[in-house]
Amino acid sequence: MGESERGDFAPRRAVSFWCGNGHHTQPSFAVEAVVPETWDCPKCGLPAGPDPDQAPVAAGNAPYRTHLGYVRQRRSQEDGEILLNEALAKLRGTI
């Protein structure tokens, strides 16, 4: 398929963004589009900005937790033991 079948491309401009790790990305935007202040780095996921010397700082995010970590945050060890014993009793048919 050629351009005659699909039509002409809209005028575009390339904008450079740099993340805190020094990665450079250059997405293209339509000329009339509003360019965002930050762009997610496709290599590391950190926010990237238009100034290589002043890269935006990533918002503080909680460290990764497993499902068990979130459960332990909500329940005490004693609560877990009670729930486990109830579930085992149901499986064994004693309740």
Residue whose entry in the numeric block shows the structure tokens 């085992």: 88
> Could you write out the three-class secondary structure of 36-74?
CCCEECCCCCCEEECCCCCCCCCCCCCCCCCHHHHHHHH
CB 76 within 8 A of CB 84: no
The answer to whether 79 is annotated as binding is: no
44 is in an annotated binding site: yes
Alpha-carbon distance of 19 to 80, in angstroms, equals: 43
- 33 marked among binding-site residues: no
The answer to whether 41 is annotated as binding is yes
Q: Which residues are annotated as a binding site?
A: 19, 23, 41, 44
Q: Which residues are annotated as a binding site for Zn(2+)?
A: 19, 23, 41, 44
